[in-house]
Amino acid sequence: MSTFSIVGLGKLGASMAAAIASRGFKVVGVDVNAHAVDAVNAGRAPAQETDLGDLIAANRERLRATTSHREAILESDVTFVIVPTPTDESGGFSLQYAAWAFGEIGDALARKHNYHLVVLTSTVLPGSTRYGLLPILEQRSGKQCGVDFGVCYSPEFIALGSVIRDFLHPDFTLVGEFDDRSGRTLADAYAAILPKPPPCQRMSLENAELTKIAVNTFVTTKVAYANMLADLCERIPGGDVDVVSEALGLDARIGRRYLTGALGYGGPCFPRDNVALGYLARVLGTRAELAETTDRMNRSLAGTVLERLNLSIVHGTTVAVLGLAYKPFSHVIEESQGIALAKALSRHGARVVAHDPLASSLASHELKDHGLVLDSLHDCLRQASVVVITTPAGRSRWSTAGGCSRRS
């Protein structure tokens, strides 16, 4: 039975480590952050994610963590690398953290005698694994890829708040392989880990890297299309975007998922992938106009909502914004539509009060002078003349809420 190591114990990495351990495998987590390592070894979650703490605590005998890459590599057969690849000034993805991790892994491989598979999971641009990272492994290890070790690119298609469930029950697994042995090893690993192995799509490293970005940008295109329909429906007497979307979703060529008029998408993945696809197209001498338009439409939604509310808001009107995280059941505020709307309202002259049961602390720091984040929902409602709900009504995090919103 294989032993796995996970480099990077953030939300995805820690969740993958716990999920794999829950399937009966030994897992060694690696992180430069000693606090994350100590948390895992104490049976606690190093990051906030649904059910993560319980799963780590329940599998302590199979899951441990260390700050030593060498230790983790020498004790495992397959390594998943899940480190940040932040957007750089050009719109692409920086390989700074991945390159450092691959250097450490290469040093460890130099001291290993049996075959080892290294799997990059972080989002990168096509060509990054083969030309940016694989050479680091060969140089630092003194060994040859395809002979002494294998390399794959295999991203996960997960959503924050449901990472563990999404990892264990994916629609498909994506395996970008350096060679047949690398791909076969990873495909076999997924077949053993996942409760009901889904279809496995094996392809080149570059095709897998592009597929990851393509999936996310296609999903956001559906979101933007639904928001376009929502805008049209609001201008048509009796128009109802939910009715229209429900009918559209019955067409097998379209499907219902992500086809809902709302405040748009946000978070750490979707917005930057459209930007990255546009950057990639320009580097290749072409244009990704659909991705660029999707990004532009999504960033304009806060202004569109403000336009709808304009008649209700005079200078000094108190407006409550309920929902500051980028999605329900999350504390993450990155690219949050609620934050963007609160800032737009403040710039318009409104007095903004806001509430979110999970994201209040981070949101307060982000909003600064643009709004007052209150701990109490009822205090928000009591002070406000206009209430904007920026979380889906069907999945509201509050037992009560009042007011009006363009889209709830």
Is there a single domain that holds both residue 95 and residue 185? Answer: yes
Is there a single domain that holds both residue 259 and residue 174? Answer: no
Is there a single domain that holds both residue 113 and residue 137? Answer: yes
- At 393 the pLDDT is 56
Domain span at residue 16 reads 4-198
Q: How far is the C-alpha of 308 from the C-alpha of 6, rounded, in Å?
A: 47
Count of structural domains within the chain: 3
Q: How far is the C-alpha of 79 from the C-alpha of 317, rounded, in Å?
A: 55
Is there a single domain that holds both residue 230 and residue 339? Answer: no
Is there a single domain that holds both residue 12 and residue 127? Answer: yes
Tell me if 238 is assigned to some domain. Answer: yes
Q: Which of 150, 160, 107, 108 is nearest to 129 (CA)?
A: 150
- At 402 the pLDDT is 31
- At 315 the pLDDT is 86
User: Which of these is catalytic: 145, 152, 269, 380?
Assistant: 269
- At 101 the pLDDT is 98
Is 145 considered catalytic here?
no
Is there a single domain that holds both residue 257 and residue 322? Answer: no
Element (H, E) at 81: strand 78-81
Q: Per residue in 224-256, pLDDT tens?
A: 999 999 999 999 999 999 999 999 999 999 999
Is there a single domain that holds both residue 312 and residue 271? Answer: no
The residue out of 245, 264, 299 marking a domain boundary is 299
Tell me if 216 is assigned to some domain. Answer: no
- At 104 the pLDDT is 98
CATH code, domain carrying 242:
3.40.50.720
Task: Provide the token pair at 97.
Answer: 């953290």
Is there a single domain that holds both residue 318 and residue 279? Answer: no
Is there a single domain that holds both residue 77 and residue 58? Answer: yes
Is there a single domain that holds both residue 319 and residue 295? Answer: no
Tell me if 211 is assigned to some domain. Answer: no
Tell me if 358 is assigned to some domain. Answer: yes
Task: Provide the token pair at 323.
Answer: 């929902």
Is there a single domain that holds both residue 41 and residue 172? Answer: yes
Is there a single domain that holds both residue 23 and residue 127? Answer: yes
Instruction: Give, for all 408 residues of the chain, the pLDDT tens digit.
Output: 789 999 999 999 999 999 999 999 999 999 999 999 999 999 999 999 999 999 999 999 999 999 999 999 999 999 999 999 999 999 999 999 999 999 999 999 999 999 999 999 999 999 999 999 999 999 999 999 999 999 999 999 998 889 999 999 999 999 999 999 999 999 999 999 999 999 999 999 999 999 999 999 999 999 999 999 999 999 999 999 999 999 999 999 999 999 988 888 999 889 999 999 999 999 999 999 999 999 999 999 988 888 888 767 888 899 999 999 998 878 889 999 999 999 999 999 999 999 998 888 899 999 999 999 999 899 999 999 999 999 875 444 443 333 333 333
Strand, coil or helix: 388: strand
Tell me if 102 is assigned to some domain. Answer: yes
